[in-house]
Structure 1
């Protein structure tokens, strides 16, 4: 009963994609998921009364990404544009500069001329040390921390160069009904030839060529000829004794070293539903001296620096976001304290009292992904050694254990659902080639 052709640990996007591909190829697949739901860092919450949904995790399709959009089209799941104007708030002033990083062209020139990789922090301190670059350095740090959820002292210049030169800010999408609808589609396809078990925490993995066993916290054993390990990188980095940590027998020395050298970010997401979208109101326009009726994204220097709306929908949900080292520093904070930091940030930006915002707040949710034991962070970012580490982790162990996840993706859409889906698809192809070969 607990035997399969292939065991998959993790029912996030990578694991479900691999399960779907292998089940469709006629393989008996068992997916073991530690959490009480599928999706991993995709977490859509529906309101049964209103029929509306909110994304507690991944929210956007960042670009016209072929695997993600191809699957959505195959499943008949509609999606809509999330492209909108980006507004900056600095020292009491709102602006919509095309380039929100000062000296952007100069920075790109320096990155293009770079012959040896270094961290973005080292590059800035070496090439842009003067006071005239203070705002530029602060903006770069905020972008790397916020968008990439990375540590600027570790983030690779080569990787950022590739990412920034490939960005298409005009192509942003949201999935109608939420990202979980795509996960449900993959799960249905997987269940046609396999099964998904929730609340199944794998703690030990025993390996030998052609045979692998997973032992759960409850002592249940699962066996297969091959395994795909599709848990987040943060879980793989977890030390023995931490909830969700996995121990290998025998130890995987090279793979363990590669895992520790890779970058994995921190993030906290704050969802606030107010009585109305006050940021679009005439009263706000009069108070701050300008209209924000086209605003989709808001960047600031506040404690919770990044915010976005549901534009073009006139939703009363405002979403806050803090990533990188600043989010890591808040890992142990209570949700209530993080909420108050968010409200204070909005009060400063919109020149309102915190008490008024509290009165207008209908519901709220703080999602501290770094504190969640089966995630332990946000998504991967490239360190200087990331490419070499990926080569190690993309090498199967004895043709038996395979790794999958967004952190193993080599393209320009790092840290996205596209990266996870691509990795899951690719590892399924490798396994099928191994079997047929």
Structure 2
């Protein structure tokens, strides 16, 4: 089979890229190993018709996020602000105000880092130690960075985190999409040639020509766009013979942080809407909505491993939930829907974070090879933008622009 452009991966980046190339008049084929669209965007729809819940990307970040234009203004809703904030601290659920009545709440500490991150080479852990935080405030800030960046603070680059915040183009605020974030990949894919359940195993290239070994046979094209995470390439999930050594080195410096999510349905509804940060490091973030029985668990870094183990033992999981949610003291679990991104060979984790000593890796990974193999995905924006859905979409647009420039020469 022959086409103009092969796009590998039907996540947000791949579909945004394919959409732009298709609209420019090129023949594009998208191959996706999963049997669904979206990559690390995954929406769960409760059996009783309740509001959709997110198992991958959680919200739309920013009032200038491209999702607004894709979904349409009538389908975007601001995230409710009447949600109580709690922490689990020393085995007890408490109001967030326990942290010096909010004066050193972790999000305020992060804002201080964005404003004054310190010199090159300084880790977030080192920056935190230099702020004089102690006790619960230090523990909460440390876990906040773990959960928001899926990495240990001593590995995170403080200046690169600040640069990512400055480079973000999506604006402010948080939003949801009617029908869930899973509607976004579906909108992008409309009318595209997308082959689900058809992995690309290897791509060979020479200037102006690629040959790909896919689940449907051999495909040739003028160019390929790789949108799978770097970790998939380093693990051998996608073979790219002839890739320059600098690209392999960049991929090795862009590991995805561990992440494990789950929707746990209890036998009773939550009495109030709350978001809980487990400062003790066991469960990450937990969100419940008043009147609904589901608990959304989003755990990263070390907490992802703890949640992963608990998902295999519901009694342990229930004990952890009862600590974080006192109203569930005598509740029972009726259903668990997991999304273990760290154990998924097609993702290798949640997302990339800028690490000390690896600040230049993303730009090296994003660099095209021989004007023929191009790269997209949130990893290509690591350290220059926030690693959320907006960056993935933007990376796809940028890769499409590079492809169009190359094929029109």
Q: Normalization by structure 1: what TM-score?
A: 0.82
Match of 1:368 among 331, 335, 340: 340
* 2:58 counterpart of 1:59: yes
Sort the Cα spacing of 1:103 and 1:272 in 2 relative to 1 into closer, same or farther, 3 A.
closer
Deviation at 1:324, TM superposition (A): 1.1
Q: Matched residues in 2 for 1:106 and 1:19: separation?
A: 36
Partner of 2:321: 346
Any stretches of 5+ residues in structure 1 without a counterpart? 281-292
Deviation by residue 1:13-55 (Cα, 9 ceiling, x = unmatched): 0000000010011100000100111100111233566375332
Match of 1:177 among 176, 179, 182: 179
Partner of 1:335: 311
Partner of 2:269: 277
Any stretches of 5+ residues in structure 2 without a counterpart? none
Partner of 1:309: 288
Sort the Cα spacing of 1:207 and 1:99 in 2 relative to 1 into closer, same or farther, 3 A.
farther
Over aligned residue pairs, what C-alpha RMSD do you find? Answer: 3.0
Q: Matched residues in 2 for 1:95 and 1:319: separation?
A: 19
Q: Matched residues in 2 for 1:418 and 1:113: separation?
A: 24
Q: Matched residues in 2 for 1:78 and 1:105: separation?
A: 29
Q: Matched residues in 2 for 1:50 and 1:106: separation?
A: 37
Q: Matched residues in 1 for 2:387 and 2:41: separation?
A: 12
Larger mean CA deviation between 299-308 and 81-90 belongs to 81-90
* 2:254 counterpart of 1:266: no
Match of 1:221 among 218, 221, 236: 218
Partner of 2:234: 237
Q: Tell me if structure 2 keeps the 8 A contact 1:39–1:183.
A: yes
Deviation at 1:105, TM superposition (A): 5.9
Deviation at 1:214, TM superposition (A): 1.4
Deviation at 1:162, TM superposition (A): 4.0
* 2:325 counterpart of 1:325: no
Partner of 1:284: none
Sort the Cα spacing of 1:235 and 1:69 in 2 relative to 1 into closer, same or farther, 3 A.
same
* 2:273 counterpart of 1:300: no
Deviation by residue 1:295-326 (Cα, 9 ceiling, x = unmatched): 4411133421421124xx64222211210133
Deviation by residue 1:357-415 (Cα, 9 ceiling, x = unmatched): 22xx3322122111112111001111134442122122210000001001112677512
Q: Matched residues in 1 for 2:393 and 2:279: separation?
A: 34
Q: Matched residues in 2 for 1:340 and 1:58: separation?
A: 28
Q: Matched residues in 1 for 2:21 and 2:339: separation?
A: 33
Q: Tell me if structure 1 keeps the 8 A contact 2:267–2:334.
A: yes
Partner of 1:390: 362
Deviation at 1:117, TM superposition (A): 2.7
Sort the Cα spacing of 1:102 and 1:5 in 2 relative to 1 into closer, same or farther, 3 A.
closer
Partner of 1:121: 125
Sort the Cα spacing of 1:349 and 1:392 in 2 relative to 1 into closer, same or farther, 3 A.
closer
SS of structure 1 residue aligned to 2:175: strand
1:19-98 residue pairs with structure 2 within 5 A? Answer: 19-47=18-46, 50=49, 52-73=51-72, 77-83=75-81, 84-91=83-90, 92=92, 93-96=94-97, 97-98=101-102
Q: Matched residues in 1 for 2:374 and 2:360: separation?
A: 17
SS of structure 1 residue aligned to 2:190: helix
Q: Matched residues in 2 for 1:73 and 1:353: separation?
A: 38
Partner of 2:138: 137
Q: Matched residues in 1 for 2:323 and 2:345: separation?
A: 33
